[in-house]
């Protein structure tokens, strides 16, 4: 195991150094081009390279595209706002702040990598607009020049990362997908083997699915996969998400069933052997017979069930059969994705959904309003104090609010950025007043800048030090005044550094008060939204299908899991509540489809889900309804019984939860 970790660490180091070398090459190319055409602030081209550069081709190109779109929109908004309120600095500040926070709110609602375009539209307005309030006549020229500088940086970053030792994100996706499939198969094998774990344990797979979705978004920019494969990526997510639910149901049923009959036990043993088999060819050869056997056993158990206990056993066999089918489909889809070929025909004929994002407009509005108060208060302090560097400070404050506003606890990340900025200031002063005055040739300048940028770039490629490294890579070109000729001015550098630390320090204080969301509050908010959606589904106001609901709840689980580490709540209790809502929501949707068959009694049972606190009495009533339909002589009756068993088992988790609360 230690050898594996050592190899992984070495590969990570090599990838970080390669990323740093490519980013530095792109930055110097952008700097050279900006100098050659006589741009006023070529340092912005360097900054842009380090902002958009990512460790893979797809992520770098997509981020470049979104930055370009966001920059154009943000610059256009600034050109419209600043001249229109030239004689009203406070109202101009209000309008700029409103635009920035509006873009922040949109980015929080988007929740895909496309949100970066909204972030850029906001903080481009901050960077261009606030410093120009004192000189509004030059706003158009400033915006045009800034867009040119940024476009050069984007072009150079995209060019170098695309053609110089490119690292394709599709390879990372395929590797993570294979790992996720192995993990899903092993989790089901552990469930069937009776290994001790919480019923909600399979929900932890939600983090892997969230990660896969995050990198999947960039794959079209990799120039590696076709449109049909994008369809396969959505389809495999649907099945993996459903597999999480099926695994939870299997674990729950095994805790309920007292004695497993011989025929079911034989199927369990054969299925377990198939799951732990490492030979892919052998698994493929055995899966068809296994599916047929499980389908026959499921049909037999459903037809001959005379008691509720027998119906429960038939329900368990159905989930076994579904697990086999889902795993087979996942492996076929995985092969299609890996070999970049059209996905195989799947039997259901249902439209694929893909990842479904949880969006919370109320939380987005609250965060945007908090940012509005922070930035506007900074503007008022600047205007009434008449501080000459106040525009620069407020522009940095706006950047902090937009970049870090999506975090529940933004302060630790800003502190890391401040630490990096402190190092950036020290290094910048060393360069500006010791090294750069001795440089007269561009090639020598590149050699002089290389040590600092290569070190900072390698740190930026590592998630734990990304924000600290950004403090170095973004501060260095600004304070060094990397222009067409050396123009070192200690007073200007000192004032800029003071503005930087004043803005980030104010951001730490204000965002700790207005932008920090406690983990417990965020968890409770998520769980309450789940309850709301179930109530709306029962009342007919929430229109969704099984796949959409499952995928939405998987995303909510992925949002919940990291917050549990910072929460005072019991992790198991919170996850069990979420799993309970997943299962109840599915039961309501399924029973809504069979409502016409069961009549008014089923409608009354669904209504009681919203009102009653006596879950045990409701479970007994559901069991009695199921017994009245036994033996199930047709498919519709068998389907109704099966759905009633699902609801009966899901309510059992609610009883356990209430007991844990006492």
Nearest to 631 by CA among 313, 305, 297: 305
Domain with CATH 1.20.120 in the chain: 171-223+227-338
On the question of pLDDT at 6 being above 50, the answer is no
On the question of pLDDT at 346 being above 60, the answer is no
Q: Classify 171-223+227-338 by CATH class.
A: mainly alpha
Give the residue-averaged pLDDT of 597-626.
79
Give the residue-averaged pLDDT of 356-379.
94
Give the residue-averaged pLDDT of 134-146.
81
410/9: higher pLDDT: 410
The CA distances from residue 365 to 8, 108, 147, 275, 371, in Å, are: 42, 9, 29, 47, 10
Q: Mark out the alpha helices in 305-339 (DSSP H runs).
A: 308-338
pTM (predicted TM-score):
0.90
Q: What is the pLDDT of residue 598?
A: 55
On the question of pLDDT at 129 being above 50, the answer is yes
Q: What is the pLDDT of residue 656?
A: 55
Give the residue-averaged pLDDT of 31-52.
88
The token pair that represents 5 in the structure block: 């970790």
- Given pLDDT bands bounded at 50, 70 and 90, which one contains residue 612? low
Q: What is the pLDDT of residue 273?
A: 92
Phi, psi (5° rounding) for residue 55?
-80, -5
Quick: pLDDT tens for 493-510. 888 899 999 999 999 999
- Given pLDDT bands bounded at 50, 70 and 90, which one contains residue 249? very high
Quick: pLDDT tens for 283-307. 888 999 999 999 999 988 888 888 9
Q: Mark out the alpha helices in 111-204 (DSSP H runs).
A: 115-132, 139-163, 169-192
Q: What is the pLDDT of residue 10?
A: 42
> How high does pLDDT run on average in the chain?
86
The token pair that represents 394 in the structure block: 């407020």
- Given pLDDT bands bounded at 50, 70 and 90, which one contains residue 599? low
Give the residue-averaged pLDDT of 465-492.
82
Q: What is the pLDDT of residue 630?
A: 85
Contacts for 285 with CB less than 8 Å, ≥ 6 apart: none
Contacts for 183 with CB less than 8 Å, ≥ 6 apart: 205, 208
Q: What percent of the chain has pLDDT over 70?
A: 92
- Given pLDDT bands bounded at 50, 70 and 90, which one contains residue 655? low
Q: What percent of the chain has pLDDT over 90?
A: 46
The token pair that represents 319 in the structure block: 């989930």
On the question of pLDDT at 219 being above 90, the answer is no
On the question of pLDDT at 548 being above 90, the answer is yes
């Amino acid at each position: 195991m230690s050898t594996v970790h050592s190899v992984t660490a070495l590969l990570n180091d090599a990838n970080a150094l390669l990323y740093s070398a490519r980013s530095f090459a792109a930055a110097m190319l952008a700097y050279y081009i900006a100098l050659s055409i006589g741009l006023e602030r070529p340092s912005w081209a360097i900054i842009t390279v380090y902002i958009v550069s990512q460790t893979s081709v797809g992520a770098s190109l997509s981020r470049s595209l979104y930055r370009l779109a966001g920059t154009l929109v943000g610059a256009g908004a600034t050109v419209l706002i600043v001249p229109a309120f030239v004689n009203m600095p406070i109202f101009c500040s209000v309008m700029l702040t409103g635009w920035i926070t509006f873009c922040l709110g949109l980015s929080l609602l988007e929740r895909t990598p496309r949100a970066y375009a909204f972030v850029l539209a906001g903080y481009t307005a901050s960077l261009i607009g606030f410093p120009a309030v004192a000189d509004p006549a030059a706003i158009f020229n400033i915006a045009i020049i800034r867009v040119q500088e940024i476009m050069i940086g984007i072009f150079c970053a995209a060019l170098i990362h695309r053609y110089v030792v490119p690292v394709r994100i599709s390879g990372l996706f395929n590797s993570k997908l294979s790992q996720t499939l192995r993990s899903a198969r092993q989790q089901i094998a552990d469930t069937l083997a009776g290994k001790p774990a919480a019923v909600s344990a399979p929900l932890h797979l939600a983090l892997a699915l969230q990660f896969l979705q995050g990198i999947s978004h960039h794959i079209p920019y990799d120039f590696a996969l076709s449109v049909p494969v994008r369809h396969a990526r959505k389809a495999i997510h649907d099945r993996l998400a459903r597999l999480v639910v099926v695994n939870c149901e299997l674990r729950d049923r095994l805790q309920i069933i007292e004695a497993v009959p011989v025929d079911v036990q034989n199927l369990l043993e054969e299925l377990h052997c198939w799951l732990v088999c490492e030979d892919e060819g052998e698994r493929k050869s055995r899966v068809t017979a296994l599916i047929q056997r499980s389908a026959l056993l499921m049909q037999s158990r459903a037809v001959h069930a005379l008691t509720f206990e027998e119906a429960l056993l038939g329900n368990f066999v159905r989930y076994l059969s579904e697990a086999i089918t889902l795993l087979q489909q996942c492996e076929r889809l995985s092969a299609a994705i890996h070999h970049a070929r059209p996905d195989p025909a799947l039997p259901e004929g249902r439209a694929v959904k893909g990842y479904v994002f949880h969006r919370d407009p109320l939380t987005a509005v609250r965060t945007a309003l908090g940012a509005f108060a922070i930035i506007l208060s900074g503007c008022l302090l600047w205007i009434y104090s008449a501080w000459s560097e106040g525009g620069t400070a407020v522009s940095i404050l706006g950047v902090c609010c937009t970049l870090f506003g999506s975090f529940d606890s933004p302060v630790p990340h800003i502190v890391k950025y401040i630490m990096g900025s402190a190092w950036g200031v020290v290094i910048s002063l060393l360069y500006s007043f010791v090294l750069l005055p001795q440089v007269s040739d561009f090639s020598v300048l590149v050699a002089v800048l290389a040590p600092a940028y290569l070190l900072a770039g390698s740190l930026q490629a590592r998630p734990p030090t990304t924000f600290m490294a950004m403090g170095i890579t973004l501060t260095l070109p600004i304070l060094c005044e990397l222009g067409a000729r050396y123009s070192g001015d200690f007073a200007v550098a000192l004032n800029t550094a003071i503005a930087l630390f004043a803005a980030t320090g104010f951001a730490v204080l204000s965002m700790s008060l207005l932008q920090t969301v406690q983990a417990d509050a965020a968890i409770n908010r998520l769980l309450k939204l789940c309850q709301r959606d179930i109530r709306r589904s029962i009342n007919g106001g929430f229109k969704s299908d099984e796949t959409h609901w499952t995928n939405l709840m998987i995303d909510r689980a992925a949002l919940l899991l990291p917050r549990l580490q910072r929460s005072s709540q019991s992790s198991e209790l919170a996850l069990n509540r979420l799993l309970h809502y997943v299962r109840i929501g599915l039961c309501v949707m399924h029973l809504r489809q069979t409502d016409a068959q069961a009549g008014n009694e089923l409608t009354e049972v669904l209504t009681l889900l919203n009102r009653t606190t006596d879950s045990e009495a409701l479970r007994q009533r559901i069991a009695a309804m199921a017994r009245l339909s036994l033996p199930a002589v047709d498919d519709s009756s068998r389907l109704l019984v099966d759905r009633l068993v699902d609801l009966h088992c899901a309510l059992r988790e609610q009883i356990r939860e209430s007991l844990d609360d006492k």
